Amino acid sequence: MQSGEGNLGLEPRQTATCSLCLVQFAKYTCPRCNVQYCSLGCYKSEKHAQCSEDFYRECFMTELQSQKISTAEKSKMMEILRRAGEEGMEEEEGGEGECATLEERLAGVDLDAESPEAVWNKLSRSEQEQFRAAMASGHLSSLIPLHTPWWRVVKPVVVIDKTGEADVVSVPDILPNLPPLGTLVKDGKASPLVRYSVLNVLYAYAFTVRLYNGEHRDLPVDAAQTVLRVSSCLSDNASYSMAGEAITHAVTTVQQSKELARSGEVAVSVLEDVSLILCSPRPLSRCSAPHALSDLQRLLSSAADELHSVKESKKDIKLLKMGSKKVYFLTVWALENVVELQCLARLVDIEHEASRKTWKAARTHCRKSTNSKLVTEIL
């Protein structure tokens, strides 16, 4: 891989064993207590519960204080809290001193006006414990409807969640008035390596859509920064000589990043999304890469405009504009090379299967090695 100057934020692999599960290799270090761990599951485990729960609660409170919340989002949050409370009612001991139900206590709450602490204090002690436990175990996230990405639907779909909010899943429009590719490159010919840049960028896009549960357009700056972090093609002007190199670099970036904090299995599974974007299954057999890249170009442009409006770092704005310009070029290229991209889908499938097997084999090897070491020490 060839790369320009810049820091991708990649960190060297750790060879120490996870301090929490004592099975897998430690990949991350908790910034709060400095314990080394291997995955999000261990980070949320009982051994690390106190530190992680405090961290999640601080994030929850900070988010409430820093964001304006729409009516739909208020309803969704109330629904999550109500459902979490209902699921714990059987375990909670009632009594004459028990106050009103959770729904009654939250009925008049205005999340825009109330402080986070005030909202938190409206929960009973057992409800607070249930909320902490649900967040630490990951159960709380299961109460939030999982978004279906647009590349997995045949036609526009309207999904109504339990709060009554409509989520329309449709294919993004291709950028209008795109020029011929020959007008954007010297001698009218693009490098044969462009196709691999498309793979790297599409992975970053698909991962970001998944990470933000389909709400990436609502948080353009954060989502755009995630895309740049995952794609070295956009953030560092990197180029790749083969498909495996472009894909592996993006997957490894996700696996080794503390901020992204996703397991190896999740990072590998996004490759299936990339394959579907390149060539959806029959009866459509369409290439959706121009649609995905168009959506990404609008995201990067929107993020740059938002930062410019609040007079943020010129360096960050420049990086977003450069990324937007490059994605614009890739969109034009993809539109004129649909058949070639559809052929690349097979290579992505091969990489997906190989990466999945490698990840499983590595996990099994780590467990066996650790177990053998423990047996030897016991004997």
Domain boundaries, the chain: 28-89+102-142, 180-371
**pLDDT, tens digit, 9 for 90 and up, residues 285-320:** 578 999 999 999 999 999 999 988 877 678 889 999
Query: pTM for the whole thing?
Result: 0.62
As a whole number, mean pLDDT of residues 163-181 equals: 80
Q: Is 50 exceeded by the pLDDT of residue 138?
A: yes
pLDDT for the residue 256:
81
Long-range CB contact pairs, 349-353, < 8 A, 24+: 349/275, 351/243, 351/244, 351/247, 351/248, 351/271, 352/268, 352/271, 352/272, 352/275
Range with the largest mean pLDDT of 64-73, 108-117, 173-182:
173-182
Band of the pLDDT at 356, cuts 50, 70, 90? confident
**pLDDT, tens digit, 9 for 90 and up, residues 206-215:** 999 998 888 8
pLDDT for the residue 5:
36
Q: Which two tokens stand for residue 151?
A: 């590349």
Q: Which of 61-70, 130-139, 216-225 has the lowest mean pLDDT?
A: 61-70
Q: Which of 93-107, 143-157, 183-197, 331-345 has the lowest mean pLDDT?
A: 93-107
β-pairing, 157-160 with 28-29?
unpaired
Distance from C-alpha of 234 to C-alpha of 278, rounded to nearest angstrom: 19
Cα-only R_g, the chain: 23
Range with the largest mean pLDDT of 93-97, 163-167, 351-355:
351-355
pLDDT for the residue 49:
76
Band of the pLDDT at 280, cuts 50, 70, 90? confident
